[in-house]
Amino acid sequence: MTQTNVAAPESRFLSDIKTLRERARQHIEAGAVTDDYQADRGTVLRLLNEALATEMICVLRYRRHHFMAKGINADPIAEEFMVHATEEQQHADKIAARIVQLGGEPNFSPEGLSTRSHSEYVEAGGLVDMIKENLIAERIAIDSYLEMIRYIGERDPTTRRVLEDILAVEEEHADELSDMLHDQ
Ligand SMILES: [Fe+2]
Ligand SMILES: [Fe+2]
């Protein structure tokens, strides 16, 4: 069997090197977004900005709860709220970085932040209510990340991977909160 025969079936699925190189040279101002980007960029950017708002609201809610948690069992829970707040901030940063990679602008404006967010900023009275509100917010985040991942499908693997990594952490958060709730 000759070299050409071995290579032939695979090469049908790939653009030839010359075409790839030429396309990369065109529209270089588009940064990481190439002609092969298959998702609807406008929709992906809108969804990412909604996720960014959701994460920022979660940062604010967890920080509020960290400082307001009181009672006999409060200390370890207050600490956990701060750990979550820090992780939500990391999520926000990852999302903002991906928005910029896709040629968009991250919307950090406080104006309309809670409207753009999927989850809510609920102050909550006592420790149990705080845990419940955070669990509700995590479940909302899980649902919206699942929906976004399903929407993106195979069309934007990098965004999908960012969202999947975040989703895994939100599931851990929800799991921890539900354990806390059982201990109360
Ligand atoms: Fe998060
Ligand atoms: Fe979370």
pLDDT higher for 123 or 2?
123
pLDDT recorded at residue 143: 93
Mean pLDDT of 137-154: 93
Cα 3 to averaged position of ligand 2 atoms, centre (Å)? 52
Q: Ligand 2 is a single-atom ion; what residues have CB below 5 A from it?
A: 138, 170, 173
Quickly state the pLDDT bin for 28 (edges 50, 70, 90).
low
Cα 149 to averaged position of ligand 2 atoms, centre (Å)? 17
Mean pLDDT of 156-171: 97
Q: Which two tokens stand for residue 3?
A: 């070299």
pLDDT recorded at residue 7: 47
Cα 170 to averaged position of ligand 2 atoms, centre (Å)? 4
pLDDT recorded at residue 33: 84
What pLDDT, in 10s, does the model give residues 37-74? 888 999 999 999 999 999 999 999 999 999 999 988 89
Closest ligand to residue 55's CA: 1
DSSP string for residues in the chain = --HHHHHHHHHTTS--HHHHHHHHHTTGGGTT--TT--S-HHHHHHHHHHHHHHHHHHHHHHHHHHHH--STTHHHHHHHHHHHHHHHHHHHHHHHHHHHHTT------STTHHHH-SS-----SSHHHHHHHHHHHHHHHHHHHHHHHHHHTTS-HHHHHHHHHHHHHHHHHHHHHHHHHHH-
pLDDT recorded at residue 35: 81
pLDDT recorded at residue 72: 82
Cα 38 to averaged position of ligand 1 atoms, centre (Å)? 26
pLDDT recorded at residue 181: 92
In terms of residues, how long is the chain?
184
pLDDT recorded at residue 82: 98
pTM here is 0.85
- Greatest C-alpha distance within the chain: 77
Cα 10 to averaged position of ligand 1 atoms, centre (Å)? 40
